[in-house]
Amino acid sequence: MRNLLWAASALSAAAITGAAYASPILYTSQTRTVEASATFGANTDSDSDTATDFGPFPATVFAEVNVGNDRAFASASTASSLDPMALSASGSVNAVRMGSPASAFARSFFEIEFTLETGDLFDLAVGATNSTWSITGPGGILYQSGDEDLDLTDLFLSAGDYTFSFETIAEVDSAEGTLVSTGSWSVILVLVPAPGIPTIAGLAALVAMRRRR
């Protein structure tokens, strides 16, 4: 374990000094928010949370109204991390209505703008269900809702400005019966190490060899 921690620290140090990568991701704007609301007749409940800076943003909000055996419930969650060499984010929503007149609404929204000063290779993965999303770059829309889930390796992104936008909404109205609505999305973008830079596994093996000498 100590070997792996040392290797991870070494790789992180190389990345920070710029030795491992050609150009970091330069974030310029962020909007990350979750909200939930529930209504049953005259009774309402709501909650929301919004990121205030570029730091990690894990958040979950709930809203619930119960009247006898009837119920309106909504939840929205998200977790995202914006690092110089990678970004990762996910979001999910749920809305449930049992009885009438009741309604529930949940939303998870993520939009990041960043700049690449030079072109680089990236690994990109996107998964989405009942969500609206788009990835735009210097030439316009690169990928968007309706495309299949993405799992791309060594994807070249040219220098310029990029926007990653993801949103999922769950909503049930006040009709009779029980209704359930869900949605989710996830995205991971990782800058590929430059040739000749050791991986964490490689560094760990090097440490093990030194310890045996």
Q: Is the pLDDT of residue 42 over 50?
A: yes
Residue 84: cis peptide before it, omega within 30 degrees of 0: no
User: Taking a C-beta distance cutoff of 8 angstroms, is the pair 92, 112 a contact?
Assistant: no
- One domain, residues 169 and 91: yes
Express each pLDDT in 97-139 by its tens digit: 887 788 999 999 999 999 999 999 999 999 999 999 999 999 9
- One domain, residues 39 and 69: yes
- One domain, residues 13 and 100: no
Q: Is the backbone of residue 130 left (phi > 0), alpha (psi -120 to 50) or beta?
A: left
- One domain, residues 62 and 151: yes
pTM of full prediction above 0.75? yes
Query: What secondary structure letter does DSSP report for 194?
Result: P
- One domain, residues 97 and 31: yes
Going by pLDDT thresholds of 50, 70 and 90, the confidence category of residue 177 is low
> Could you give the number of structural domains in the chain?
2
For residue 126 the two structure tokens come to: 């996107």
d(CA 154, CA 148): 18
- One domain, residues 15 and 59: no
Q: Is the pLDDT of residue 207 over 70?
A: no
- One domain, residues 96 and 185: yes
Nearest Cα to Cα of residue 77 among 99, 92, 62: 92
Outline where the chain has alpha helix (H): 2-17, 200-212
Going by pLDDT thresholds of 50, 70 and 90, the confidence category of residue 23 is low
Query: What secondary structure letter does DSSP report for 147?
Result: B
- One domain, residues 32 and 12: no
pLDDT for 135: 97
Tell me the residue range of the domain where 206 lies. Answer: 1-20+196-213
- One domain, residues 142 and 206: no
- One domain, residues 31 and 66: yes
- One domain, residues 6 and 35: no
Q: Is the pLDDT of residue 32 over 80?
A: yes
Query: What secondary structure letter does DSSP report for 69?
Result: T
> What does residue 184 show for φ and ψ, rounded to 5 degrees?
-160, 160
One-letter amino acid for residue 14 of the chain: A
Burial degree of 139 (CB within 10 A; 0-12, 13-18, 19+) = exposed
- One domain, residues 99 and 204: no
Beta-sheet strands, E only, within the chain: 26-40, 43-50, 57-67, 70-83, 86-98, 102-116, 120-129, 131-137, 140-144, 150-157, 160-172, 178-191
Q: Is the pLDDT of residue 92 over 60?
A: yes
pLDDT for 85: 95
User: Taking a C-beta distance cutoff of 8 angstroms, is the pair 39, 65 a contact?
Assistant: yes
Q: Is the dihedral of CA 157, 163, 168, 173 positive or negative?
A: negative
User: Taking a C-beta distance cutoff of 8 angstroms, is the pair 184, 130 a contact?
Assistant: yes
User: Taking a C-beta distance cutoff of 8 angstroms, is the pair 104, 45 a contact?
Assistant: no
